[in-house]
Amino acid sequence: MSIDPLFHRAPEGLRAKIAAALKHLELSRTASATRQYTAEIQALFRGPHGPALARLALLHNGEKARIAALQAATELIGRHPRLAGFVAGDLTSPNTQLAQAAVRMSLAARCDTPALYAMTGLEHVRPAVRRVTIRGVLLTAGQFGDRGLMQILAKHIETTEKKPSLRALFARGVGLLGWAPAEPTLRQLLRDKAPVVRAEATVALARITGVAPPTVLRLAKGRSAVGRLAAIRALAAVTSSNRAITQLRALRKDNRRANDPLGIGPALVVGASAKEGLAWHGPPNQLTSSAAERSGSSR
């Protein structure tokens, strides 16, 4: 019976090297030294005894060294998912960077048990850890279509998540993915107390269903530049209609600029964005022919 490489005993010389690199990294005080020892750890992990060395590194007492080990082991865990068993404690660490690194590594395994470990990050007291978990699950779902993780995430958003920006992040993510099973959650978020959540849910529903929910009118006619930009994104996503075009045309003269409330995208000008939205539809008198052309080109 072959032994899992994870539990091989690495040569003493390599064990000494990884121990020294971890010790020096933990004591390093400059960015250049940190980069140097991190690179040494990564190189050792990429060698033939990498899994066994990663297991040893993940048991190191120093948090700074363990963060570097977690980051380096992310390249290995897809082939050696049992590494996830050595990071369970780090998922709940009060050290934000350590918990974030543990979540990223666990999700990188791309298999059920480590991914479920990673979902512990949704319960973390630090919003930054929950944010990394939410983004990681959305990314995993986009790449591999993991329905189970998305269902857990949707339930968390519906019942537990207290941070409005994170509920909004979920809404934007599922909208960009076009994840139809999120529709009930999004309709609940349309009644959220936070304007940013209602706005992102509006856009997501428009993208998923092809129909703008009633909240788009309040956003388009409201005074908030951020709200108007959300309305534009929703109207640009719906199936072509004269009403959507009329609403977009009415926003063309608004020259206000607004930052992305989630801090992800660039600042945008309302009027310029409305013009870009109109480009997706074409002028009202060309609506029928444009739709016919798109339909014909898709055959």
Segment-wise mean pLDDT, segments of 10 residues, the chain, 299 residues: 82 96 94 94 95 95 95 93 92 96 93 88 97 95 84 96 98 95 97 97 96 94 95 90 89 95 95 92 46 36
- Count the alpha carbons within 13 Å of 205 in the hemisphere toward its beta carbon: 21
pLDDT value for 25: 94
The overall pTM is greater than 0.85 = yes
User: Positive or negative CA dihedral for 50, 116, 110, 104?
Assistant: negative
Provide the pLDDT for residue 298: 37
What CA–CA distances, in Å, run from 4 to 52, 60, 71, 289? 9, 21, 21, 63
SS (H, E, C) 229-247: HHHHHHHHHCCCCHHHHHH
pLDDT of residue 239: 78
pLDDT score of 1: 54
pLDDT digits (tens, 9 = 90+) for 96-130: 999 999 999 999 988 878 888 999 999 999 999 99
pLDDT for 281? 81
